[in-house]
Amino acid sequence: RTIPYDLIPRMIAKKEWAVLSAGCLQRVKALNAFLHDIYGAQDILNAGLIPKNHILSHSSFQPWMLNFEVKGHIYAHISGVDLIRDHHGDFFVLEDNLRTPSGVSYMLESRKISEKMMPELCQKSNLMGIEQYPQLLKEILIENAYVDNPFIVVLTPGRYNSAFYEHCFLAREMDVPLVTGS
C-alpha cells in the first residue's frame, strides 16, 4: 500500500514541542480520568454535567466495563491526539482518537524516508528519536497486564479494514502475532 508522505517534514522546535507534549499528556490524563469516572462512580453523569443517555446509550459504551478496575486507571494506552495549526501558527486539537488510534506507522515510515532522502538535514536538525515506539508500546502493555508474561497480540478486523497496514506494521515491529476475532 502506498504510504502518504509529505516531502517537506513538519518540524517543531524542541521548546514548542515541550509545551505541546505537556498539553497532550494533560489531555490524555483527563480523558482517562473521564473514562474512569464513566465506568466507575459516574460523578459527571450524576451531577448532570453530561446527560446520562448521551453516554450510556452510545455505541462505544461498554457496560461490561462498569466497575471493572484497570491498572492505574488507564483505559487508553494509545492516544491519537490530532493537532492542527491555525493561520497564526497556533496549535489546536482537531480530535482525540482513543478507541482505534492510527498513524504511528506513517510517522515511523516517514521518518525513515526523510532520513534516507535528506540525511544531512535530519542529522543537522538533531531530531528526537521515535524508532523505539513499538517496543515502548509493547512494554507498556506488558506492564499493565494482570498476569506475568502476558500473551500480547494486535487484534485486527482483517485486511479490508482501512488501518490494516497499521495493524500489520505494529505487530511486526512489536514482534507479536496479528490476529482476527475469528
Q: pLDDT of 85-116, one tens digit each?
A: 999 999 999 999 887 667 888 888 888 888 99
Give CA separation, 160 vs 22, 27, 163, 167, 180, in Å: 36, 32, 9, 12, 12
Listed in sequence order, the residues at least 6 apart from 16 whose beta carbon sits closer than 8 Å to its beta carbon are: none
Neighbours of 74 (CB within 10 A): 14
**What is the bridge-based pairing of β-strands 154-156 and 178-180?**
parallel
Return the pLDDT at 16: 92
Neighbours of 1 (CB within 10 A): 5
Q: If you average pLDDT over every residue of the chain, what do you get?
A: 90
> Which residue shows C-alpha cell 482483517?
158
pLDDT over threshold 70, residue 1: no
Return the pLDDT at 94: 94
**Secondary structure element (H or E) that encloses residue 84, with its range:** strand 80-85
Q: What percent of the chain has pLDDT over 90?
A: 59
